[in-house]
Structure 1
Amino acid sequence: MDGVRSGGAEPTGEGRAGGAAEDGPGAGEKHARWLLSVALTVQFLVSLDLSVVNIALPDIRGDLGFRGEGLLWVVNAYALAFGGLLLLGGRLADLAGPRRVLTAGLALFGLASLAGGLAWSPGSLVAARAVQGAGAAALAPVAFALITLAFPAGPARSRALGLWGMAGAAGGAVGVLAGGVLTDATGWRSVMLVNVPIVAFALAAAARTGPVGTRRRAGARLDVAGALLATAGTTLLVLGLVRTPDHGWTSPTTLTSLGGAVLLLAAFVAVELRTASPLLRPGLLRGRPVLAANLFCLLLASAQFGAFYFLSLHLQLVLGFGPTAAGFAFLPFCAGVVAGSVLAPRAIAVLGMRRLMAAGAVPAALGMAWFAATATADGSFPVSVLGPSLLCSFGIGLCFVPLGTAATTGVAPGETGMASGLLNSSRQVGGSLGLAVLVTVAVHVTGDAAGPAALSSGYAAALWAAAGLLAVAAPTAYVLLPPEGRAVAAAAAPR
C-alpha cells in the first residue's frame, strides 16, 4: 500500500505519538496500514451504532420505564446530534487536525457508550445517546478524511475507499445482528457497552500512525456563527423529518420545525458567503463531481435507510422472524456490498466515476424493486430476501469507490474535512428524509387495516418508492459528473 502523504505541506505537529512514528524503510507503509485500520474501525463503529440499539428497544422500555413516545428519543437523540454536528466535526478536523479530533471523538464516544450501558433512567440514556451522536459527528468525517489525506489519488485510494464502504456496510449489518444476539444473551446494556473495546482498539491503533494532515493555515479560525447556524438548522431539519411519522407532514409541529430549519440554513448560507474562513465554502459545490456525489449520496441514503427499516419490520411482523434470525437475514446484504466494493477499484479504472456510479445504481434499483415485488405475506427467504439482498447490495457496493472519489475531486487538502462533513451530512439528512417519506407512503397504503397482508402491502409500496429513488440516482450521476479522460482511468488502475 502506498505511503502516507501530507498533502504537500508540513505536518500539523499533532502527529507522532509515543514514538510510534519511527522513520526508516517501510515506515510509511506501516503507518498507512495503521491509519487505514483506524479509519475502517471508526467507520464500522459509527455504522454499528446507527442500527445496534433498534432491536433492543422493547427491552429498554421495560427496564427503564419509558412512556409513550419517549422511547423514540433513544434513536432520535443520536440522529439529531450526529446530523446536526457533522459539518462542524468536518471543519474542526481541517482546523485542529485529524488526530486531535479523532482522539477527542473516540474518547467522547467511548465515555458516552459506557454511560449509556450504566444508565439508570430514561433521561440518562437519552443524554448518553446524544453525546454518542456528538462523538460520531466528529468521527465520521475524520474516517473519510484520513483516507483521502493518507492515500494519493489512484489505486491505493480506490482500494482504501472500497474497504471504507465495506466497513460501513459491515457495521450496519453487524449492528442489526449484534443487537438481537446481545439483547437475547446478556441484556440490552451490552449493546451500548460493546462499543468500549472497539474504541480502545481504535485509540491504540491511532497512537501508531504517523503524521496526518497539513499545517494549519495562517489566520484560519473556526466560523462560530456559521457553526451555530449550521448545527441549529440541520438539527431542526432532522428533528422535523424524524417526527413526521407521528405528527404528519402538514401538522403545525412539522411545519414549524421544517420552516425554522429553512430560515436558519438560509442564514447560514448568507454568513458563509461573507466570512473569510467558512465552515462550508459555498464554492465547494460549484465543482460538478462534489455536487454530483452529494446529490447521489442523498438519494442512495434515502432509499437504503428507509428500506432497512421496512425490511426489518417485514421480516419480524410478516414473515415471523425473531430478533436474532432477522439480524442473520441481513448478512447476505453485507456480503453483496463486500463483493461490489472488491470489484469497484478495478471497475473504476475501466468505466470511470461517472459510468460506475450510474452502473451501480441500476442493480441497486432492480434489487430494491425485487424486494418490493416479493414483499408478500407468503414470501420465502430465498426469493423475498436472499436474492434481492445480493443484487441490491452488490450495486450499492459498486458505488462506494466512485462516490468517495467524486466527493473529493478538486478539493484542496486543507478542505478534506469540510468535504467529508458535507458528504456525511448528505447521507444523514438523506436517510432521515427517506425514512420520513417512505413511512408516509406505507401508512397511506395500509391505512387502518391490520394483519400481515395489509402490512406487507404498505411495506411493498415503501420499497417501490425506494427503488424509484435509486432509479433517479443513476441518471443524476451520469448527467452531473463530467466525462473522464484516459489519464484519469490510467491513474486509477490497480497495479
Structure 2
Amino acid sequence: MTTSPPHQEGPEARAEEGTPKPAGPVRPVLLVVLLCLADLMVVLDVTIVNVALPSMKRDLGLSQTDLQWVVNAYALIFGCFLLLAGRLGDIFGRRRLFLAGVVLFGAASMLSGLADDAATLIVGRGLQGLGGAVIAPTGLSIINTEFRHDTAGRTKAVAAWGTIAAGGSALGLLLGGVLTTTISWHWIFFINVPVAAAVLLCARAVPESRDEASDRTVDYAGALTVTAGLLLLVLALGHGASWGWTSGRTLGTLAAAVLLLAAFLVISSRVRRPLVRLGIFRIRSLAVADGVLLLLSSGIFTMFFFSTLYLQDVLGYTPIKAGLTFLPAAIGVMIGATIAQPVVGRLGPVTVGSAGLLLAGGGMLYLSRLPEGGDYATDLLPGLLLQAIGLGLAFVPVTLLATSGVPESDAGLASGLYQTVQEIGGAIGLAAMSALAVWRTGQEMTGSGAGPDVSAQVAGFRLAFLAGSLVMVAGAVLFAALLRKRHVDPVMADVAANGPAV
C-alpha cells in the first residue's frame, strides 16, 4: 500500500492521493482547455500529414513505401501503447504521465520538422505516436476523475473532448494544406511546439490523481510482444512487394510477427494483470465490432492516402487545394453519423452497420476506376462522398457494439480496445493496400526500364481502391453473419438505459 510522507498535509497531499483540490470556477475551465488543446495536437497529426505527403516525397526523395510509414509509424505506435499508457497513468500518476506525453510530443514534432531524410522523419513520427498514446488516455482519465462529483461539468468536458476528436481530423486536412502551401511541410510539425509549450506553462492547473487501490502490476512483456509483433507484421506487408512475397526476408519477418503475437496471447492468458484480458472477447457483440472496426479503419487510411497522391501527383493540385477538396468527405462522415444515430434504434446496429459498409465499399469501387487525367467533380468527389457517408453510418453502430453492454469493470478496457483497434487496423490496412499498389505499379512498368509514369501509378491506386472495396464488403458480411438479435439486444438495452459508453 502506498502511503504519503508525514510532511505532506492539506489539499496538496489529498490531490496526490486522488482527491481533487478545491477550485474556483476558473481552474476547471482552464483544465478542460489545456486537456483539449493537447488532444487537438494528437488528433490533428493523424490527418495533417496527408496533404503534405507529395511535398515530403519530392523534398526528401521518399518512395511510396516510405510515405506509408510516415502515416503508419504514428498510427501503429499510438495504437500499441494506448492501453499501457493508461495503466501507467493509473499507477504512477495521471498528471505526471500526461505532462511527460506533452513534452515527448513537442520534442518529437520538432524532430519531425527538422528531418532531412526518411529515417529521421519516420522515427519522429513514431515518437509523436508514443507521446499521443500517453496524452489521449491520461487526459480523458483526468477529466473523469476531476469531474466525478460534478455530472454537469463532466458532461460539458467530455462533450468538448468529443468535439475536438470529431472536428480535428477535418481541421488537420485544411491546416496541413495551408501550412504546406504558404510556408512548408515542416511547419505541420513545428506548429505543435508552441502548443505543447503553452500546455506546459499552465501545468499547475492539471491536478494529480492515481488509483491508490490498484496493485502496481504492469504487463510489460505483453506490451513488448504485441508491439514488436505488429511492427514486424506491418513491415512485412509494407515491404513485401519490393522484397518479394516469397523471399526469405518477407517470410522470415512474417514468421517472427506470428510468433511474437502468439507469445502475446500466451502471456495475456497467464499473467495476473494482462494488458488485454482475453476473456472480454467472449462478448460476441464486442468481438465482432472490433473485428469489423479493424477493416473499417483501413478504408479511412486508404481513402486519404491514395486520394491525396492522386490529387497532387496526377491532377497537379496544390496542398491547400487538395486539403479543401477533402472537406466534403469530412462533412459526409458527419452526415452519415447524424443519420445513423436515430436510425440505429429502429433498424438495429447490424442493419445500419452493414448498409454503411456496403455504401463505403461502393464508394471505393467507384474510385477504382480513376482515369489518368481525371476530373475531381466527376471522377473523385462522388466516390469520396459515398465512402464518407457509408463510413459515418457504419461507425455509429460499430462504436455502440464495441464499447457498450460490457460490465462496468471492463468499460475502460473496451474503450481502450476500440481506440487501439482503430489505429492498428488503419496501419495494417494501409500497409497492405500500399503493397498492392506498389506491386501493380511495378507490373505496369515491367520492361519499360523507366521510373513510374502516371499510367502505372494510377493503375496501382485503382487496385488499392478495389481491394479496399472488397475489405468493406467483407466487413458487412462479417457483421451480418456473426451477430444475431440475442447478441445485440443487451447492448441496445444498455444504451437505452445508460446512454452510449464514453
Relative to 1, partners in 2 of residues 1:16 and 1:277: Cα closer, same or farther, differing over 3 Å? same
Aligned length: 474
Q: Which residue of 2 aligns with 1:5?
A: none
1:234 to 230, 234, 239: 230
1: CA distance, partners of 2:130 / 2:467: 31
- Structure 2 residue 403 is the aligned partner of structure 1 residue 408: yes
2:330 to 327, 330, 334: 334
Relative to 1, partners in 2 of residues 1:165 and 1:288: Cα closer, same or farther, differing over 3 Å? farther
8 Å contact kept, 1:162–1:401: no
1:31-430 alignment, distance < 5 Å: 37=36, 41=40, 44-48=43-47, 51=50, 54-58=53-57, 60-61=59-60, 74=70, 77-79=73-75, 81-96=77-92, 98-118=94-114, 125-142=121-138, 167-168=164-165, 170-199=167-196, 215-373=211-369, 375-411=370-406, 415-430=410-425
Gaps in structure 1 of 5+ consecutive residues: 1-9
Relative to 1, partners in 2 of residues 1:102 and 1:193: Cα closer, same or farther, differing over 3 Å? same
- Structure 2 residue 487 is the aligned partner of structure 1 residue 491: no
In the TM superposition, what is the alpha-carbon distance from 1:279 to its structure 2 partner? 1.1
8 Å contact kept, 2:405–2:495: no
2: CA distance, partners of 1:164 / 1:474: 30
Q: Which residue of 1 aligns with 2:448?
A: none
- Structure 2 residue 467 is the aligned partner of structure 1 residue 465: yes
In the TM superposition, what is the alpha-carbon distance from 1:356 to its structure 2 partner? 3.2
2: CA distance, partners of 1:68 / 1:487: 47
Q: Which residue of 1 aligns with 2:8?
A: none
8 Å contact kept, 1:77–1:133: yes
2: CA distance, partners of 1:208 / 1:340: 38
Relative to 1, partners in 2 of residues 1:39 and 1:147: Cα closer, same or farther, differing over 3 Å? farther
8 Å contact kept, 1:12–1:211: yes
1:227 alignment partner AA: A
In the TM superposition, what is the alpha-carbon distance from 1:393 to its structure 2 partner? 0.9
In the TM superposition, what is the alpha-carbon distance from 1:260 to its structure 2 partner? 0.8
In the TM superposition, what is the alpha-carbon distance from 1:473 to its structure 2 partner? 1.4
- Structure 2 residue 429 is the aligned partner of structure 1 residue 434: yes
1:455 to 454, 457, 460: 457
Q: Secondary structure at the match of 1:280?
A: coil
Relative to 1, partners in 2 of residues 1:492 and 1:54: Cα closer, same or farther, differing over 3 Å? farther
1: CA distance, partners of 2:362 / 2:241: 27
In the TM superposition, what is the alpha-carbon distance from 1:134 to its structure 2 partner? 1.2
Relative to 1, partners in 2 of residues 1:316 and 1:200: Cα closer, same or farther, differing over 3 Å? same
| Deviates most, 133-142 or 201-210 | 201-210
Relative to 1, partners in 2 of residues 1:351 and 1:441: Cα closer, same or farther, differing over 3 Å? same
Relative to 1, partners in 2 of residues 1:173 and 1:54: Cα closer, same or farther, differing over 3 Å? farther
1: CA distance, partners of 2:161 / 2:279: 27
2:134 alignment partner AA: A
1: CA distance, partners of 2:257 / 2:315: 39
1: CA distance, partners of 2:246 / 2:162: 37
CA-to-aligned-CA distance 1:353-373 (integer Å, 9 cap, x gap): 433322322322222222224
2:425 alignment partner AA: G
Relative to 1, partners in 2 of residues 1:13 and 1:341: Cα closer, same or farther, differing over 3 Å? farther
CA-to-aligned-CA distance 1:301-356 (integer Å, 9 cap, x gap): 22221232221222223323233322222111111112223344333443444333
1:57 alignment partner AA: M
1:61 alignment partner AA: L
CA-to-aligned-CA distance 1:1-34 (integer Å, 9 cap, x gap): xxxxxxxxx99845647x5x558xx999x79976
1:427 alignment partner AA: Q
Identity of aligned pairs, percent?
36
Q: Which residue of 2 aligns with 1:7?
A: none
Q: Secondary structure at the match of 2:134?
A: helix
The TM-score with structure 2 as length reference comes to: 0.78
8 Å contact kept, 2:65–2:238: no
In the TM superposition, what is the alpha-carbon distance from 1:428 to its structure 2 partner? 3.0
Gaps in structure 2 of 5+ consecutive residues: 1-13, 446-451
* Bigger RCO (CA 8 Å, 6+ sep): 1
Relative to 1, partners in 2 of residues 1:188 and 1:408: Cα closer, same or farther, differing over 3 Å? same
8 Å contact kept, 1:141–1:417: no
8 Å contact kept, 2:241–2:439: no
1:490 alignment partner AA: A
In the TM superposition, what is the alpha-carbon distance from 1:257 to its structure 2 partner? 1.8
1:491 alignment partner AA: A
The TM-score with structure 1 as length reference comes to: 0.79
| Deviates most, 483-492 or 350-359 | 483-492
8 Å contact kept, 1:80–1:133: yes
Relative to 1, partners in 2 of residues 1:301 and 1:358: Cα closer, same or farther, differing over 3 Å? same
In the TM superposition, what is the alpha-carbon distance from 1:287 to its structure 2 partner? 1.3
2: CA distance, partners of 1:185 / 1:48: 18
1: CA distance, partners of 2:56 / 2:432: 23
Relative to 1, partners in 2 of residues 1:69 and 1:454: Cα closer, same or farther, differing over 3 Å? closer
In the TM superposition, what is the alpha-carbon distance from 1:300 to its structure 2 partner? 0.7
2: CA distance, partners of 1:197 / 1:414: 38
1: CA distance, partners of 2:37 / 2:222: 29
2: CA distance, partners of 1:225 / 1:388: 43
Relative to 1, partners in 2 of residues 1:468 and 1:483: Cα closer, same or farther, differing over 3 Å? same
